[in-house]
Structure 1
Amino acid sequence: MSRELKRIRRRKATQKKLDGIWEQSNSSLIVHYSCESFYDTEDGRTPRVTSIAVRNLASGQTESFSIHKVAEQQRIPFDEIHNKYDDLEKEMLEEFFDFARTHQHFNWVHWNMRDINYGFAALEHRFRVLGGDPVVILEDRKFDLARALVSIYGLGYIEHPRLQKLIDKNRITDRGFLSGAEEAKAFEDKEYVKLHQSTLRKVDILANIFERTADGSIKTNASWLERYAAHPKILVEVIREHWVWSLIVMVAISVGLFSRVADWF
C-alpha cells in the first residue's frame, strides 16, 4: 500500500474517532497538567507535578487539582510549599486518581501526553514513587489531539510551537497561558497559582480547538490537497485494491482492444 493511501486511510480513521468523541461529549474529558522542567530535574527523576485540570467537553465543567489548593486546605503557607512538596504532590495526585477511577470509561482528550517525561505514564509513575496506587486509563480511551491534527491536516498544518501558533491563527483567548519555558520559570519562582491558571486556560483552549476541528471551522496552513491527501497515486492504489474499479478498468481496456481489432477488419 502506498504512503499516500495509508495517510488518507489514517486520516479517515482519525476523523471517525474524533467525530465519535464529539458525539459522546457528555462522557468526554479534556485533560492537561503542569509540571517541573523536564531538563532541570536531578538524578534522572521524573518532573514534579504542580497542577492538573480536567474539563468536560459538553458542559465545560472543570475539575482542578493543585499543590497550592492542598496546601491551603492544610493551612500550609505558600512560601513553605517547597518544604512539603512530596506530601502535597501525593495528596493532589490521590485526588486526581480518585477522580480518574470514577471516569475510566470516559474519553480522555489530551495534547502530547504520551510518555514518562510528560504524559499519563508520568502521572502514574510520580504517584507510585510517592507511595500511591494509580488508576491506569486504557489506551483506547486516550485521544491525542496533537497527533490527530497532524493525521488530518498533514505535518505542515501549522508552524512550531504548534499549540501557540494555532491559538494565534484562530484568535483564541490565551490570557494566563504559559509556554513550556514560562511554566518552568514559574516553577522555579514558586509561582504555583500562576501555573495552575495556565493549566486551566490550556484545557479551555484545547476544548476550543477540539470543537473547531470537529465542526470543520479550525484554521490551519494546510492546503486543500494536504487536507484531503489528494495524490494521483491514490487513484492507482484504489483501482489496484478494489475489485469493482479493477473490473471497470479491465472492461475499458477490453472495449478499447475490441474496437482496435474491429478497425483492422
Structure 2
Amino acid sequence: MRIFRSHRLDERQQGIEKLNKLKSNRNKTLVIHYSCESFFNLEGRTPRVTSICVKNRASGESKAFSIHLQAQFKKINLAVASVQDIDLLEKEMLSEFNSYVKKNSPYCWVHWNMRNASYGFEAIANRCRIVGGRTFTIEDDQKFDLSDILGKLYTYNFVEHQPSGQLLNMSHLNAISTKDALTGKDEAEAFENKDYLKLHMSTMRKVEMVDRILNLLEQDNTKIKSKKTEIYGLSFLGVIEIVRSSPLLLIIWSIIIFILGAAMEPVIQRFFGTS
C-alpha cells in the first residue's frame, strides 16, 4: 500500500547506504577537488584544468597537481608564459595525475559536483586527450558526490546556493575554515590574471572543506538548513521518522499513546473481557 511507502525516505535510504559504504572504506577513500578556467566564452572548448588536489583519508596526506607547481619544476615564468608553455605545463600536470589515478583507481573517490563533461572526471579526462596525454578511468561506482549524498539525506535545500555556492555556504554554516577558498567568479578572475597560485591554494582548501563536511556527516553532527518535514516528508512513515528523530516529540507521542491506552482499556475490557 502507498501509505507504507515514501519516495523521500527511499531517497534518504540511498544516501545512508552511500555514507555507510564510505564509513566502512575509510582507509581506502580519497577526497578530490580541482579548479579550472571559467566555463564562459570558451566557444565550446573544454575548460583548462589548472590544479587538482587529492587527500588520502587514511593518512591525512594531500597530493597536489598544478600548473603552478609544474612551472616551478620547468623554470617557466607564468607571468610571461605563452599558450604553448601553458599547454606543456597542463600536459605534465595531467600525466602525473593519470599515474596517481592508476595506482589508486580501486579507491572510493569523494568529490563535490564533479559529474559532467563541463566540470568533472570526464572533463579532466577530455583535457588529458586534448593536450596529448594519456587518460585515466575511474569506475562510476567508485565515485561519491558528497553534495548529492547530502541532497539525498536532507533534500537539495540542505544549504543555500547564494551567495557563494553550496560548498562555501555549507562550510560557513558548520564553522569550517574557508581561508584561501575562492568562489567560482573569483577563480575565473584568478585564471584571467594568471594567478595560478591562488587557484592552487583554493583547490587545496576546498579538498579540506569537503573532507571536514564528510567527517561531520559521519559523526551525525552536520548543521543543515532543511526542515524535518522536508528531510522526512509528510507521508505516514515520514511523520513516524520525524517523531523518532525528536526526543521531545517522542516523549509527547509516548504520553499520548499512554493516555489513549488508559482511556481505551475499559472499552476493550467491556467488549473483549471475559464475562
Task: Specify the TM-score bucket, using the shorter chain as the normaliser.
Answer: 0.7 to 0.9
**Unaligned stretches of 5+ in structure 2?**
240-271
Higher alpha-carbon deviation: 62-71 or 153-162: 153-162
Alpha-carbon shift at residue 40 of structure 1 (Å): 2.7
Separation in 2, partners of 1:114, 1:209:
19
CA distance in 2, matches of 1:235, 1:140: 29
Residue 56 of structure 1 contacts residue 62 of structure 1 at CA under 8 Å; is this kept in 2? yes
Structure 1 SS opposite 2:189: helix
Conservation of the 8 A alpha-carbon contact between 1:71 and 1:81:
no
Partner residue of 1:222 out of 218, 221, 226: 226
1:137 aligned partner: 138
TM-score under structure 1 length normalisation: 0.84
Q: Is 2:55 the counterpart of 1:51?
A: no
1:187 to 186, 191, 194: 191
**Superposition pairs for residues 137-216 of structure 1, below 5 Å?**
137-160=138-161, 161-216=165-220
Query: C-alpha displacement at 1:224, in angstroms?
Result: 2.5
Q: Contact 2:8/2:233 (CA < 8 Å) preserved in 1? A: no
Mapped partners of 1:115, 1:49: distance in 2: 14
Please report the TM-score for the alignment, with normalisation by the length of structure 2: 0.81
The one-letter code matched in structure 1 to 2:76 is I
Quick one: structure 1 residues 76 and 232, their matched pair in 2 at CA, closer, same or farther if it must change by over 3 Å?
Answer: closer
Question: Given residue 38 of structure 2, which amino acid in structure 1 is its aligned partner?
Answer: S
Cα distance in 1 for partners of 2:32, 2:112 equals 8
Distance, in Å, in 2 between the alignment partners of 1:118 and 1:179 is: 15
Q: How many residues in Structure 1 have an aligned counterpart in Structure 2? A: 236
What's the Cα RMSD here? 2.1
Matched, 1:61 2:65: no
What do the CA deviations read for 1:97-126 (whole angstroms, capped 9, x no partner)? 100001010000000001111000000001
Q: AA paired with 1:98?
A: S
% identical aligned pairs: 39
Q: How many angstroms apart in 1 are the aligned matches of 2:112 and 2:100?
A: 20
Equivalents in 1 of 2:44, 2:228: separation in Å?
45
> Counterpart of 1:232 in structure 2: which amino acid?
S
- Conserved 8 A contact 2:15-2:152: yes
1:251 alignment counterpart: none
Unaligned runs of 5+ in 1: 237-261
CA distance in 2, matches of 1:26, 1:203: 17
- For 2:88, the aligned partner's letter is D
**Relative to structure 2, which stretch is displaced further, 163-172 or 139-148?**
163-172
Tell me, yes or no, if structure 1 residue 36 matches structure 2 residue 40.
Answer: no
8 Å Cα contact 1:29/1:54 also seen in 2: yes
Counterpart of 1:70 in structure 2: which amino acid? Q
Counterpart for residue 257 of structure 1: none
Query: 1:27 touches 1:107 (CA, 8 Å); kept in 2?
Result: yes
Tell me if the contact between 1:50 and 1:195 (Cα under 8 Å) persists in the aligned partners. yes
